[in-house]
Chains A and B, each alone.
Chain A
Amino acid sequence: MLENNEKLPAIPKLSSQHAELYEPYRALYIHIPFCKQRCTYCDFKTEALPSDDLAIESYLEQTIREIRTASKNSLLGSIESIYIGGGTPTFIGAKHLVNLIYTISLSVNLKPTTEFTLEANPDSITPALVRDVFALGVNRFSLGVQSFVDKELGALGRVHTAKQAHGAIETILERCENVSVDLMCGIPVQDLASWSFSLEQALTHQLTHLSIYPLTVEEGTPLAAAVARGALQPANEDLQADMMVAASKMLGKAGFERYEVASYARTGENKQNSASYRSKHNTAYWTGVPYLGIGEHAASMRIKLYGGECARERLMGNTVIESLSHKEAVLEDLMLGMRLADGVLASRIVSASQELPELTGIMEELQALMLVEEKAGRFVPTTQGWLLGNELFSRFILS
């Protein structure tokens, strides 16, 4: 064992000092940067490999050691949500996955209220895998379906079919009731009718959560190249808007609340944790909760306990990539708050405007533009505000 250890790359030091200087992390993200095949639109940190590639094994071993170190340094004592994302975490196979989740279950105090999400792709879901990871504590699945139309899945370079997606959802629901599905609008070759069809198909299952997002053509992707040479045409702005509005209407009728610009949760109580079906983990990102990311290119956010100039830091590994002053952190919270149906408390704006006098004018202008409205003591985004989110959010970037 010792010999083996010597060959492994050095473990980044998550120092124990950390725990005393910063607010405790409440969300944990583990990144698995491997996929069976890269989707045409993807610009994430991931790599397409054979599932038995040795790189996967050594990456997992490294990740497991980092989790243990974080635990030893008391960084994981207050974790309330865990998210294993990628890439395609389920692609690495049950053996690795079970090892990883077992480590997490040993390192984090898993309570019934702890949200533990595993991101998955329909083609890599098997009854055995669901059974094993569920037994170890995973209590929520986020399934990358994207579309229930095979032609559209083909355009995206997805490796699964609509039929496999249905099968995967059923397999998971047999054991775990908390299932979220990602659907994408604005796919080339998609029209309003086929988009409605995908939404209807999703609603044939007892899902607890849906993420709805418009396709973004990112630079440097095969999709961008196909668009550039005219082989594919992305949906125009009007169609994308119509699709987002249609989703909001259909899902609202079906008993979902749109609690964030792209997130819909089934209304009613989540009996497992006496809470809602909103994603606790994602909500952490939007509400200034400190999170720890482990794995290649996983970002962390920490909050200093004792002020100084910098209030909030983002890190990649152990490298600080961004330091926000108190003012900037306040603006970031407001910007992220505008993603949420709950918006921000009006009293929060009042207190923040002592430090940032511009805020009063900004809120007035946003209301005049009907991007934001005041409701029950809160400033909340309007539907229009969400559709023109960049316009809304960028008001909180002061130059």
Chain B
Amino acid sequence: MATQEMTAQENIRNFSIIAHIDHGKSTLADRMLEFTHTVSERDMVEQVLDSMDIERERGITIKSQAVCVSYTARDGQIYQFNLIDTPGHVDFTYEVSRSLAACEGAVLVVDSTQGVEAQTIANALMAMNAKLEIIPLINKIDLPATDPERVRAEIEEGLALPADDAILASGKTGEGIEDLLEAICQHIPAPTGDPNAPLKALIFDSYFDAYRGVIALVRIVDGVLEKNAQVTFMANKITTQVEEVGIRRPANTPVESLSAGEVGYLVTGLKDPKDVKVGDTVTLARGGASEPLSGYREVKPMVYTGLYPIDGDQYPDLRDALDKLSLNDPALIYEPETSHALGFGFRVGFLGLLHMEVIKERLEREFDLDLLATAPSVEYHVYTTKGEVLSIHSPQDMPDATLIERIEEPYLDATILIPPDYVGAVMDLSVGRRGIFDNMQYLSQNTVEMKWAIPLSELIMDYFDQLKSRTRGYASLDYEFSEYRASELVKLDILLSGKPVDALSFIVHKDKAYDRGDILTKKLKEIIPRQMFEVPIQAAIGSRILARTTVKARRKDVLAKCYGGDITRKRKLLEKQKAGKKRMKSIGSVEVPQEAFMAILKVDE
């Protein structure tokens, strides 16, 4: 047990660093850890807080993190900083909001070569809503393209934040780091919780340890959390005994107790990660708080996809892998699904497209699985003629059209920031995607903010890539769920050699069915290689055929020359070809490459 000197509440500073993706948040955090000798230079791996390989490779933060830093300020006082690193992607908006709720302040990082972007605004607004003190920081001032004055103006105009005192810094060179640390001491308020009130601790993240079970990261809002205390998780009323509490510097360091204003970890003794929910309140089982902290909500997946092992034998491995990953990711939900075309797999729900990509990549990389993903779908609410309401996550579960009274689909409020020149391009794209224009305003001379209501199902179809390419990369996008609205939707089936392939079916607006069917059949014709037999591809609604193409039968596939030295080489080539085929899925007698199942996403070419 480390002997931890209690830090007086007035010397605690709890804050987050918030930024648009790639604006240098994690590197900046690293420099702070270095400067305060929290992590020795020798142990410094680039971006300490991004602990997953994928996080480091992609330069994004997926999980929240917390680290406790001691800083001796110029005034001679020793401060305890709790830096809470938040996920940097719109998929994780709720997690970000809970992390911010654990703080009194936020450092808003803006890349001085890029300026204010959609997530800068979204994050700043979230921080303001959480009533945080915001310290603007203009980053990457070491780069030749740096333009701090323009960025300062954008912060003032776009965010209505005073930016005169914005800190100029470089995460790369470490310039400005000390200014930042001082500003945190001076400008971010100390926590004001009451240590004598009943315990209220906010869970802002959790993870699973193979030996110790679920460990929650908590901010003590009121009261004191002690080792061995009986505590209750208020959302699901589970009571457990605290095995250990401690602080993270960054390794877990046990302490006897955590008191109001402090941030630390809690070894819950619970084994099921689903029992410990981000945003929930921990209190004492006896003499606890009567009301939980506000802001908690159930995390619900936004996007669903079918994940199937290419090799059916890997199904149990996939199940085990999902079990393991979900231990650290309670937002990941899944249930078995069977497809006629693809065999046994899982319907998996994700917070968003990035979350989906990351999980698929981790499953393949960390668990050595070859997976096929079907096109993502959203959750539709289907009102049947019998008066039932069904939640449909997969096109193959859609009831027969005659049984449907109406279908509702999720809409998002999307915020798009662009230079004024691209307003037309965004209009075209968004109207084409059934977007409903809400309003538009100039944030500055160079930046227009457009607001749209867009169906989520349209947004997940390549919308962001299209937005980027049509605005030469200038657009930035942020969105949040708004509501379910009724739409005239139909299920479009794809038939190969006359047989419907359930894994290729998708839900589409009635008015777009013909175009999508036409594009998709053409696209599949390019993707599906020529086979031994002719393969007709059809798009149909029920029995009505909307479009048809044909993959011609293969005519010639032979490496003709084969003499002495070639025999080994030829065999290797044939083996390679055969292995390549294994990466394809055999549907009936048709070999279908993996990308066919994602082809529906690329509809604008």
Q: Which residues of A contact B (CB under 8 A)?
A: 27, 29, 211-214, 216, 237-238, 240-241, 244, 261-262, 282, 285-286, 291, 293, 297-301, 314, 316, 321-322, 332, 335-336, 339, 369, 386-391, 393-394, 397, 399
Contacts and interface: CB of A to CB of B under 8 A. Distances in A.
Given A390-B577, A394-B577, A298 B565 contact: yes
B574 A299 contact: no
19 contacts: A211-B561, A213-B560, A237-B530, A238-B556, A240-B555, A241-B556, A262-B561, A262-B562, A299-B564, A299-B567, A300-B564, A301-B564, A336-B567, A339-B562, A390-B557, A390-B574, A391-B554, A394-B575, A394-B578
B559 interface: yes
B482 interface: no
B559 A389 contact: yes
B568 interface: yes
Contact of B558 (A211, A261, A300, A399): A261
A390 B561 CA distance: 12
Contacts of B575: 394, 397
Nearest to B530: A237
Nearest to A386: B558
Contact of B574 (A27, A212, A394): A394
Nearest to A216: B559
Interface string B546-580: 00000010111111111111011011001101100
A388 B557 contact: yes
A396 B337 CA distance: 35
B532 interface: yes
Contacts of A286: 562
A298 B563 CA distance: 11
B571 A397 contact: yes
B347 to A, nearest CB: 30
Contacts of B565: 293, 297-299, 316
A214 B558 contact: yes
B578 to A, nearest CB: 5
Contact of A388 (B532, B561, B570, B574): B532
A397 B562 CA distance: 16
Interface residues of B, number: 23
Given A321-B568, A393-B574, A388 B559 contact: no
Contacts of A261: 558, 560
B564 A237 contact: no
Contacts of B530: 237
A192 B560 CA distance: 19
Nearest to B563: A285
A387 B567 contact: no
Contacts of A244: 556
A284 to B, nearest CB: 8
B568 A388 contact: no
Given A321-B568, A397-B575, A397-B578, A391 B557 contact: yes
Contacts of B555: 237-238, 240-241, 387
Interchain residue pairs A-B with the least CB separation, the first 8: A389-B558, A241-B555, A299-B565, A241-B556, A213-B560, A262-B560, A394-B574, A390-B557
Looking at chain A's contact residues, is the secondary structure mostly helix, strand, loop, or mixed? mixed
Given A285-B563, A397-B578, A390 B568 contact: no
Nearest to A299: B565
Contacts of A394: 574-575, 577-578
Q: Which of B552, B562, B564, B570 has the largest number of chain A CB atoms within 10 A? A: B564
A212 B530 CA distance: 24
B525 to A, nearest CB: 14
Contacts of B562: 262, 285-286, 336, 339
A389 B561 CA distance: 11
A321 B565 CA distance: 11
A238 B552 CA distance: 10
Given A387-B557, A389-B559, A391-B532, A322 B574 contact: no
A321 to B, nearest CB: 6
A321 B567 CA distance: 12
Contacts of B561: 211, 213, 216, 262
A336 B562 CA distance: 9
A350 B189 CA distance: 87
A388 B532 CA distance: 8
A387 B530 CA distance: 14
A214 B562 CA distance: 12
A92 to B, nearest CB: 20
Nearest to B578: A394
Given A293-B565, A321-B568, A214 B560 contact: yes
Contacts of A335: 571
Q: Which of A282, A298, A369, A394 has the largest number of chain B CB atoms within 10 A? A: A394
Contacts of B560: 212-214, 261-262, 389
Given A285-B564, A291-B564, A369-B532, A389 B557 contact: yes
Given A282-B563, A387-B557, 9 more contacts: A237-B557, A285-B564, A293-B564, A297-B565, A301-B567, A388-B554, A388-B558, A393-B574, A394-B577
A370 to B, nearest CB: 9
A387 B556 contact: yes
Q: Which of A300, A339, A391 has the largest number of chain B CB atoms within 10 A? A: A391
B559 A390 contact: yes
A1 B590 CA distance: 68
A316 to B, nearest CB: 8
